[in-house]
C-alpha cells in the first residue's frame, strides 16, 4: 500500500539525506521512476500536478501508484503538487493520495495559515502528509531587484511561527530556487536554509529541482532539505527520447517503440537524482 510521506521524510531529515519527488504525467513515467527506486532501493515520492490530476483523473493515478506500491519492495508515497483548491485536495485524498500540498503562498500570511490548517485537519483525520509553502518559489526572479527578491524568500522566524500555527507536516520555504531550467545558475540563499533548518524541525522541501548544479543540491541537502521536487528535467528527458525515435523513423506508429526508450531514459535520469539526493539504499 502507499505510505504517508511524513515518515519517509522524517527519516530523511534525521538521516541527513533527501528523497526525490518526481512529477509524472503518464503511466510509463510512473513506472519508470518506480523501477528506478526499486533498482537502487530508494524510497520514492510520486507526484502529480493539478493539471495532471485533471488530465488523467485522481483515481487512475492513485490506482496505478497503489499497484506499484503493492508490487514493490520500496516504500512509495503519492503526493499532490502545488494545489490551491480545497476541493481538488479532498478529491485526491479520497482517491488514495497519501500526501498533498496546499499552496496558498501567494496569499497574505493569515490566509495561508487558515487554508493550511483546514487541510491539516482533514489530512490528520486520515493520517496523510501535508506540505505548505512560505515565500514564493520563483520563475521570474531574474527580473527582480534584491529588495524584492528578499521579500519573496521565506523568513526563518515566520517559518517557525507558520509550523506552530498550522501543524503542517512538511514545509517548502522559498530560498531562491525557481521552477523550470535556469538561465544561469540559481541564486540559492544557503544561509537562509541553515537558519530555517535551525528553527524548524519538520522536513523541508526544495522546489525547482531541475537545473540546480549537483554541488548546490548536495549543499541544500547537507543544510537540511529532505525532499527535492523534480519535474522539468524529467519531462525533457522523456520527451527527447520519444523525439529521437521519430527523428530516426518518422513513420513509427507502435507506442511501445517510443515509450520503451523514453521509460529507459527517464529511469536512468531518476536514478541519477536518487544518487544525488543520497536516498540510495534507504528503502
Ligand atoms: P522543476 O520543474 O524546476 O524541477 O521544479 C519542480 C517543482 O518544484 C514541482 O513542484
Ligand atoms: Zn514546486
Ligand atoms: Na528548476
Residue spans of the domains in the chain: they are: 5-277
**How is residue 279 written as a grid cell?**
536516498
Q: Does residue 31 surpass a pLDDT of 80?
A: yes
72 CB contacts (<8 Å, ≥6 apart)? 34, 37, 38
Query: pLDDT category, 149, cuts 50, 70, 90?
Result: confident
Q: Does residue 141 surpass a pLDDT of 50?
A: no
Neighbours of 72 (CB within 10 A): 15
**How is residue 148 written as a grid cell?**
524584492
For 46, the 3-state DSSP assignment is: strand
End-to-end CA distance of the chain: 15
What does the pLDDT read at residue 97?
99
For 189, the 3-state DSSP assignment is: coil
pLDDT, one tens digit per residue, over 267-279 is 999 999 999 999 9
The ipTM assigned to this model is 0.99
Binding annotation for Zn(2+): 82, 103, 133, 179, 207
- What size, in residues, is the chain? 283
CA dist., res. 111 & res. 109, Å (int): 5
Is 81 among the catalytic positions?
yes
CA dist., res. 217 & res. 89, Å (int): 29
Longest alpha-carbon distance in the chain: 58
Work out which ligand 1 atom sits closest to the CA atom of 233: 4
Pocket lining: 209 vs ligand 1, CB cutoff 6 Å: yes
Ligand nearest to the CA of 22: 1
What does the pLDDT read at residue 146?
55
CA dist., res. 272 & res. 170, Å (int): 24
pLDDT, one tens digit per residue, over 182-234 is 888 899 999 999 999 999 999 999 999 999 999 999 999 999 999 999 999 99
pLDDT, one tens digit per residue, over 74-130 is 999 999 999 999 999 999 999 999 999 999 999 999 999 999 999 999 999 999 999
Q: Does residue 34 surpass a pLDDT of 50?
A: yes
What does the pLDDT read at residue 173?
98
CA dist., res. 202 & res. 5, Å (int): 12
> In DSSP terms, which residues pair with 56 in a beta bridge?
none
Homologous superfamily (CATH) for 5-277: Aldolase class I (3.20.20.70)
Nearest CA owner, ligand 1 atom 9: 229
Average pLDDT, the chain: 95
Instruction: Report CA(70)–ligand 3 centroid distance (Å).
Output: 31
- Phi, psi (5° rounding) for residue 29? -65, -40
Amino acid at each position: 500500500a502507499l505510505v504517508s510521506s511524513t515518515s519517509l521524510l522524517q527519516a530523511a531529515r534525521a538521516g541527513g539525506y533527501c528523497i526525490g519527488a518526481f512529477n509524472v504525467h503518464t503511466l510509463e513515467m510512473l513506472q519508470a521512476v518506480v523501477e528506478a527506486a526499486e533498482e537502487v532501493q530508494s524510497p520514492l515520492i510520486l507526484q502529480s500536478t493539478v493539471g495532471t490530476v485533471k488530465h488523467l483523473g485522481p483515481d487512475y493515478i492513485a490506482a496505478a501508484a497503489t499497484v506499484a506500491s503493492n508490487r514493490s519492495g520500496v516504500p512509495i508515497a503519492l503526493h499532490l503538487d502545488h494545489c490551491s483548491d480545497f476541493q481538488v485536495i479532498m478529491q485526491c485524498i479520497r482517491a488514495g493520495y497519501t500526501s498533498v500540498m496546499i499552496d496558498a503562498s501567494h496569499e497574505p500570511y493569515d490566509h495561508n495559515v487558515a487554508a493550511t490548517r483546514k487541510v491539516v485537519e482533514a489530512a490528520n483525520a486520515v493520517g496523510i502528509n501535508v506540505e505548505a509553502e512560505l515565500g514564493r518559489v520563483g520563475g521570474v526572479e531574474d527580473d527582480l531587484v534584491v529588495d524584492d527578491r528578499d521579500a519573496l524568500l521565506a523568513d526563518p522566524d515566520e517559518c517557525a511561527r507558520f509550523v506552530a500555527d498550522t501543524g503542517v507536516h512538511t514545509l517548502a520555504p522559498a530560498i531562491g530556487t525557481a521552477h523550470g531550467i535556469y538561465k544561469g545558475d540559481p541564486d540559492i540563499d544557503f544561509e537562509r536554509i541553515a537558519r530555517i533548518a535551525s528553527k524548524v524541525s519538520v522536513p523541508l522541501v526544495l522546489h525547482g529541482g531541475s537545473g540546480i548544479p549537483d554541488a548546490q543540491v548536495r549543499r541544500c541537502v547537507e543544510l537540511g532539505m529532505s525532499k527535492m521536487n523534480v519535474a522539468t528535467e524529467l519531462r525533457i528527458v522523456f520527451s527527447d527520447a520519444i523525439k529521437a525515435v521519430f527523428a530516426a523513423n518518422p513513420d513509427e506508429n507502435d507506442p511501445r517503440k517510443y515509450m520503451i526508450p523514453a521509460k529507459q531514459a527517464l529511469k536512468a535520469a531518476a536514478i541519477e537524482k536518487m544518487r544525488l539526493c543520497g536516498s540510495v539504499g534507504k528503502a
